[in-house]
Amino acid sequence: MISQIFGVVMLIYLLAAILFLMAELWASLRLQAAGRLMLWLGLGIHTGALLGRWVESYHLALVHSPPAGLAARLGLIIHHAPLSNFYDSLIFFAWCLPALGLLAFRRDLKGYLGALISVLSTLLLAYASLGGVDSRIKPLMPALKSNWLLIHVVTAFLGYAAFALAFGSAILYLLQERRPRPSLPPLPVLDRLIYRTTILGFLLLTLGIFTGAVWAETAWGRYWSWDPKETWSLITWLIYAALLHARLLKGWHGRRIAWLAVLGFMAVLFTYFGVSFLLTGLHSYLT
Amino acid sequence: MSTSRIHSKPKSWLWGTLTSIRLTVFLLLILAAVAIIGTVVPQNQPPDLYFSYYGEVWGQLLWRGGFTNIYFSPWFLAPILLLTANILACIVHGLPQAVKRVSRPFTGETALNLPERGRMTWPAGVNPQPLVQAALSRELGSCRRETLPNQEIYLAERGRFRPLGPYLMHVALLLILAGGLIGKFWGVNGQLALDQGKVASAFQVGPRTELPLHFQVRLDKFQVSYYEPGSAPKEFRSDLTFLLNGRQVLRATCRVNDPVSFGGLTFYQASYGTESTGPIRLKLQGENLNQSVEVPFRQPAELPGGRGRIIIMRVDGNFQGYGPAVLLAFSAGGGHPQAFWVLQNHPELGGRAGPYRFSVESIPYRYYSVFQVRYDPGVWWVYGGFLLFLPGLYLAFFRPAERWALVLAKSPEGEWQGRLLGASPRHREEFAAHQERLLMELQRGTPS
């Protein structure tokens, strides 16, 4: 039932993307507003569906381990946030993009940028619903029963989403630089957007790595074990650290920063998909 | 960290290089590249694997070149060491200045040197001070007042501690690296495999190295539970008792994500297994055959009737939640052996091979549980680094530094004149936005 709602949300995001593109082609402010409204609508339903999945997962857990007392009940709720398998991560990533985009960009989220975000979310949801990904809610395996699960996954994926926004701005920057269009945001605005979203992503990725390390310490007794996911998140972190140093202290701007943001997002994608499918390790329950 | 080398006297080339940001960016990207190799080449495998997978030449190269344990080889450690030197040099180079800048108070005197951003005049009889106070507090959080001869100065400062942000972050990174080193050199990392009911007074720290415990630990019971038969495991649980000189001191339950600490060591539930404690009784059915046999663990046994032989390869105390089971390998004649599980409580799922049908009568078994045993004095350094990094990041990126002053002077005619002064070293946009709003609010009460 709920997975069908995600299908509807996917269509709404697709519609938002089309509206944004049409708004761009016909330079229509009204269509831009319509696109943004559509994105808000999709986000609202998406949020509701995520909460619904959370409730469903919690009720399933009640069958197996009825909690004794309020603390145990709270713990059970936290543990059963719908963030424990690959399907969950896809639909949560798809939620983070418009949520963070609408928050961070506000009215700058329009036209090609809005379309890009909407299309990315659409693709993630399409993959989740049509790509043969198992959408069943499964009981939690022992390694995932931790209060750190929620904060670790939320920070990590919000970080990915922020880097996706930086990537989107970087792509627009490179386009705009090659063939200037009056409808696109001017270069300095894009440059600033890349920088701001990168800072946000850097903060969130750092939090994701730290919480993951603390969790690993309580689960395995090692805060760092050079697991491929860990290593790739470090690689991603190093690339963005290089970007921030280059921009803040070497005065790099514009094209070179945009390319670094593109490179960083490639590392993000590999950290998320590549590691899960091509390499094995401690995070292998994600697939 | 330090913007450039301009401030430093023409010191040595070495110092210049060490404090250069170019080196930092270069090292960060090098580290990323080396780390990628480490995720592509499998790490810490036996050497044969590399030879068979990559061939003789490449295998040798990877093995001898340290690429098979890359994070502890010079390929990774040398850039890390250089980066540490780079960070240290930048801290030494820039921190004193930053501290000086932060500790220099923002006074009326210093404010007068800020560039002017706007002027306004209020008509005689209007006291603009409440308005000024309100506008500054609303826009910048808080402000204070200083009185100089003939002048009232309102001062507002934001992000005073911003210059310390980057240094906090980098000191935090050094703490994390130090924690890693401390753990490597002074930490203990071992394994303890414990049979149910047995007491241990030592644990393994290497292939043939044991370290004594200064206490004893007993595994009272190990349990593995499943959500449902055939589904995912729900819990691995070891009930432990710690003893000092034979006296019980602590009973505790160790689970995944729920380690137990005792006597300075922490025990983590890492793995488990089942082993047999005696011969297994199987029931054989077939053509004119219905008899029990006792089969010792992991020893080939001819079957009655002479139509094949079996080996019991594994026993499991709770096979996928279906209860005790054995893994049999059956071979007849020269054919390929076939392996299958036989479940004690589910004879209907039972195995057939050749003319035989197998079921289990009894499996004498015992669980053992494997613990990761750790003592890591570096963890608190690492966590300290985490805790320091975050406020550093907040100060560095989310607290734009700005200084504002509004200087009020009364003309001989009795009208107040105001001059808005302000500066921000790096955050032009936020500054411009504040300037626009401040000027708008301040000029609201003036006639012009």
pLDDT tens for each residue of B343-402: 988 888 767 887 888 888 889 988 999 999 999 999 999 999 999 999 999 999 988 888
Domain edge (last residue) among B312, B340, B363: B363
The two three-digit tokens of residue B3, written as one number: 């913007």
Residues B87 and B29 in one domain: yes
pLDDT tens for each residue of B58-116: 888 888 888 888 888 999 999 999 999 999 999 999 899 999 988 888 888 888 888 88
Residues B250 and B372 in one domain: yes
Residues in chain B with CB shorter than 8 Å from the CB of A245 are 21, 24-25, 28
Residues B415 and B344 in one domain: no
Predicted pLDDT of residue B51: 85
Instruction: Residue B419: give its domain's CATH number.
Output: 3.30.310.80
Helix then strand then coil, in percent of chain A rounded to 5, is 80, 0, 20
Residues B262 and B201 in one domain: yes
Write phi, then psi, for B5 (nearest 5 degrees).
-100, 10
Residues B291 and B427 in one domain: no
**With the C-alpha atoms ordered B399, B401, B402, B403, is the resulting torsion angle positive or negative?**
positive
Q: Does position A282 have pLDDT exceeding 80, yes or no?
A: no
3-state SS class at B160: coil
- In a domain, residue B395? The reply is no
pLDDT, mean over chain B: 87
Predicted pLDDT of residue B410: 83
Residues in chain B with CB shorter than 8 Å from the CB of A145 are 256-257
* Of B125-129, B313-317, B367-371, minimum mean pLDDT range: B125-129
pLDDT tens for each residue of B241-293: 999 988 999 999 999 889 999 999 999 998 888 888 889 998 888 877 888 88
Q: Which of B168, B257, B320, B376 to mutate to test the interface with A (most CBs of A within 10 A)?
A: B257
For residues A194-219, give the mean pLDDT.
94
- In a domain, residue B1? The reply is no
Predicted pLDDT of residue A254: 85
Q: Please name the member of A202, A214, A238 whose beta carbon is closest to the beta carbon of B28.
A: A238
Domains in chain B, number: 4
B22 contact A CB<8A: yes
Predicted pLDDT of residue A156: 95
Predicted pLDDT of residue A284: 53
pLDDT tens for each residue of A148-191: 999 999 999 999 999 999 999 999 999 988 988 877 788 888 89
Residues B119 and B87 in one domain: no
- In a domain, residue B168? The reply is no
Predicted pLDDT of residue A75: 87
C-alpha to C-alpha distance for A114 and B84, rounded to whole angstroms:
41
- In a domain, residue B389? The reply is no
Predicted pLDDT of residue A280: 61
- In a domain, residue B24? The reply is yes
C-alpha to C-alpha distance for B180 and B200, rounded to whole angstroms:
29
- In a domain, residue B381? The reply is no
Q: Does position A218 have pLDDT exceeding 60, yes or no?
A: yes
Residues B18 and B98 in one domain: yes
The whole domain housing B59 covers: 13-102
Residues in chain B with CB shorter than 8 Å from the CB of A238 are 28-29, 31-32, 35
C-alpha to C-alpha distance for B57 and B50, rounded to whole angstroms:
10
Q: pTM value?
A: 0.87
- In a domain, residue B5? The reply is no
Q: With pLDDT > 90 as the criterion, what percentage of chain B qualifies? A: 33
pLDDT tens for each residue of A224-267: 988 888 999 999 999 999 999 998 888 788 899 999 999 999 99
Contact A128, A87 (CB under 8 A): yes
Residues B264 and B290 in one domain: no
C-alpha to C-alpha distance for B437 and B417, rounded to whole angstroms:
19
Q: Does position A286 have pLDDT exceeding 70, yes or no?
A: no
Confidence band of B15 (pLDDT split at 50, 70, 90) = confident
Residues B200 and B313 in one domain: no
Predicted pLDDT of residue B137: 86
Give the gap in angstroms from C-alpha A171 to the nearest C-alpha of chain B. 22
ipTM for this model: 0.89
Domain edge (last residue) among B72, B102, B132: B102
C-alpha to C-alpha distance for B433 and B440, rounded to whole angstroms:
11
The residue assigned the tokens 């071979």 is B331
Residues B226 and B372 in one domain: yes
Q: Does position B117 have pLDDT exceeding 80, yes or no?
A: yes
Contact B325, B360 (CB under 8 A): yes
pLDDT tens for each residue of B194-222: 999 999 999 998 888 999 999 999 999 99
A/B interface, count of CB pairs below 8 Å: 106
Residues 25-44 in B contacting A (C-alpha not used; CB under 8 Å): 25, 28-29, 31-32, 35-36, 38-39, 43
* B292, β-bridge pairs: B283
Nearest Cα to A45, choosing from A11, A88, A82? Answer: A11
Domain edge (last residue) among B71, B86, B102: B102
Residues B258 and B314 in one domain: no
Residues B94 and B122 in one domain: no
CB contact under 8 A, B386 and A210: yes
- In a domain, residue B448? The reply is no
The two three-digit tokens of residue B271, written as one number: 């793995």
